[in-house]
Structure 1
């Protein structure tokens, strides 16, 4: 049974550009253990490496590393899997989402403080791909729109967050009101 599963897995994973199997035969590993070839990589390990570098440096190189980490984000981790079958993955998913939100928040804050508002918005929106419910990242978007005085975009972002909250809570919890000021991140009259 094991040999058949390994053989199917080897076929499914395929070969690299030089024709080497991504799951080498045991006799080819040197220590008679099954393991993926070094050519097999994972976005999560790349994300972690870029995040570590970026969070440790508060300069252009650090910001670039954080940007590289966020460019790997394509959505919420493990989207589309059978949650019951992969219940074991829930702690890993939560760790990944938390890391993405943390990196997105950090880069968005750095870019906003550098008056790079498009960069701040980009970072927050990349983080929202993994955690659309993150009020921390929505606040970053509100602050960026407020900084440029784009009340329409601010209002749209607030409505989007309200819709997300309604979906999560199953009912209407907030009705937009006319804005004399942004009413979200600064006091109104």
Structure 2
């Protein structure tokens, strides 16, 4: 599978046969990795799914349903996120896949945190928990840090606000990046003790 030294056709078929035997069969006896037909490529049986498939389904359904009905779907989606995609060791071919996964995880966590924070009955603990969980996956997400600033400001927790600002500034120095204008605005707002706009991104 090394592009520099690709397998021969014979080796490829041998490895796929080994893989097919290892993966096994469906409950009704069909191979989970069937042999391709009519020149088609290899694809898994439709019974083979992944947490990522489930995540996307739950997130899509939750976002479409909105805050009232969709909250539980987004919570279930985020519960499937148990570490960085590919465990932080990304092979070159997977770079675009990982970026898409990080984007969707961040977007789902952001939406969920805002729903918890801005609803009629805010649950700041739940919002905070979701943001910290997502920051473990994507530590450079300014959107999530802005969410955290919003949460701690809404909780009237100035010490946590200052810790979040310090974390943001340290992250910017560590990665040699310039903070987004929205992030800078959020920092100025929370440190000046002015009201934090509910619609901030």
Give the alignment's TM-score, normalised by structure 2. 0.71
Give the match for residue 164 of structure 1.
171
Conservation of the 8 A alpha-carbon contact between 2:63 and 2:74: yes
Q: Does 1:9 align with 2:19?
A: yes
Unaligned runs of 5+ in 2: 1-9, 179-186, 195-201
Equivalent residue in structure 2 for 1:79, among 87, 94, 102: 87
Bigger helix share:
2
Where do residues 3-42 of structure 1 align in structure 2 (5 Å cutoff)? 3-14=13-24, 18=27, 23-26=32-35, 34-42=42-50
Conservation of the 8 A alpha-carbon contact between 2:105 and 2:134: yes
Using a 3 Å threshold, how does the CA distance of structure 1 residues 80 and 11 change in structure 2: closer, same or farther?
farther
Give the match for residue 112 of structure 2.
107
Using a 3 Å threshold, how does the CA distance of structure 1 residues 59 and 142 change in structure 2: closer, same or farther?
closer
- CA distance in structure 1 between the aligned counterparts of 2:158 and 2:25, rounded to whole angstroms: 53
- CA distance in structure 2 between the aligned counterparts of 1:20 and 1:157, rounded to whole angstroms: 54
Equivalent residue in structure 2 for 1:44, among 44, 52, 55: 52
CA shift, 1:43, in A, is 1.6
Where do residues 150-161 of structure 1 align in structure 2 (5 Å cutoff)? 150-161=157-168
Q: Does 1:130 align with 2:140?
A: no
Aligned residues: 174
- CA distance in structure 2 between the aligned counterparts of 1:52 and 1:24, rounded to whole angstroms: 28
- CA distance in structure 1 between the aligned counterparts of 2:33 and 2:107, rounded to whole angstroms: 37
Report which stretch shifted further, 69-78 or 142-151.
Answer: 69-78
Give the alignment's TM-score, normalised by structure 1. 0.75
Conservation of the 8 A alpha-carbon contact between 2:109 and 2:130: yes
- CA distance in structure 2 between the aligned counterparts of 1:11 and 1:154, rounded to whole angstroms: 55
CA shift, 1:112, in A, is 0.2
Using a 3 Å threshold, how does the CA distance of structure 1 residues 183 and 25 change in structure 2: closer, same or farther?
closer
Give the match for residue 148 of structure 2.
141
Using a 3 Å threshold, how does the CA distance of structure 1 residues 37 and 168 change in structure 2: closer, same or farther?
same
Q: Does 1:116 align with 2:123?
A: yes
Unaligned runs of 5+ in 1: 174-181
